[in-house]
Structure 1
């Protein structure tokens, strides 16, 4: 769906589809100099249905209203001189483009698929990204002070028909404290020497890309000959970026160290603040002694927690090496709700099979595992709670209901803002949407 949205946003459609789009598309609303196309409404409508929204007969009207509010925010931002910095737009655009490249397989495949260079694609996407960021900034400004009280949460919950309350599957709360073994100097030296030997082979005529395919321990780029695609300043870790940007196209770096391991880097191309490089990554392996030291550390920390000398949450914030979970007291968080109680089907299967053998309230002994980037690590798991399948209720689901009530209140505020602000801009809506009654059937 994201790829489809990307294609529609910058006109990446086949000639037949392009002709069809020309024939059926039309402007259905205007807000000052900003327009809403019929395809915008239809595309968003399909996305909402795919995300589980139900059409009560009024969904397309809701879609159009949301699009109108967004366009009005853009128009009002122009009046109020609300802007986003070019650097922030470029960074966001580069990240999104890299996502699409990763999904399709390579920059070359993306360019071949759409018959446009990466710079052309970014040029066509830049306006949309900037507008999205301005709308987000306006929304955050308008709703910054919105809060809901416990009484409002209760009122919101009681307004939901009993037969419409959601049913939640089994949910669990699981936390972790992670320890990365301290890699010894000897292991680091082995990794450096391996890369130095590869560098000599490249200097003597062997192909960088082929050696990367064979030896690099970066699974994402190794199969592409180490090609990392295009990135902007600030996207890579400083050690890597600093070394890459000191090179001229075609030059190769000495062995450099980053938090990911040791690299050989070859700069392929550079255009302004954007650059494309290849690398060969070798990660120093932890020795058995290194792993045992980490295990002893976690064993001691577990004993302190079990003795109630420190809470698990505090220990995770102070001592865990995992940046993603330590800020939440070690707990895995459901990204859709931003709370730590998660459906069991959303839990990492490796974690699930461990807690399936544990009792609620227990903390596991240190367990060896591999991180997403392939590092050896150890962790202890805390099985805090388990909630049986149930229909939504205030006692067990207060945070979820709070989030829903807050979202509804913000949406009401945005609708009120639309009503109070619309007189400041020119708005017109195609008669085909008269039944939506968005402007009380008045045409401006």
Structure 2
């Protein structure tokens, strides 16, 4: 079946090229749309293919990418449209729906990424002859396709602890999970045949600058103010993993804390001073909170105001001496925690919804917060403890797990796309 489709596709390229090439000339009279492919229960029109080829051409040209041969561009674009169509049909059959609110949030993110307001983004599209409504439709298609892919692929991806451990022991895994350092670097250059007097004078200059830095002068300012004949050169080295740092700094940088400056480092080039601006991925200490809660949900028989009043009443009862755990077992509608007396265990920032988390963070240990409203209902929250927890090992392992997952996900996605393409009925007209 696949070979037949491939032959038909090649045979149809000449017709498609003619159709796309002559469309502008025919526009003065009349452009008759045509079906270029039938895919299961749907079709792809020539206008759809023509529009996608045009958009892709503009994108490639704007990025200065060399254009592929026209027949290759059309063939690959049509094949991509066919794959998208198959997945969209799967989504519709499965009842996947993308709400207008989801599309609104997505378009606002796109505008923000382009450093524009939504209104400015709409105007920019219009100035390029593009339709905002067409763009929203494309966003909807992409979101539906992504949801279909995730629903079919995630269940295929299974990752074991052994796989993660094996990956972390490889050079690639060690490089991925290494901390990153951002360093400022300054060098007093010396000739290879520098005399002892020159070396001594340069060292004194480096020590003087270091003394100014450690007394509070900004690193860049102290370096800039150094005088002839021993001026510093250098600058910001940017973010680098330990393995990517010059070997001269490999033992020095990890020993520094953010904001600290090293002792002068002697090399064949002269005297170096490095300042650690920031480090990420080395140590992640987070403040965890232990809390309980009682959740009261508004419903058809309980208005939001009544739910709030009940939450306030339960808080008052706890303050009057009743047991929080017993009240949670009796009243809380959080199935996961109710039988445990509302116990949520130790939670990490970002784990709870924003309103709940903000309340937990500002409530002192041992106290019960005023009822707080979230998307789930009204919560009565009691904070029972706080602790600082080093999450470095967990964060490193999670980073490795994400990498392994993404790699396996892409492998499974490629295989799945080939499968659904082979199984679909496709007729290139």
TM-score (norm 1): 0.38
Specify the structure having the higher radius of gyration (Cα): 2
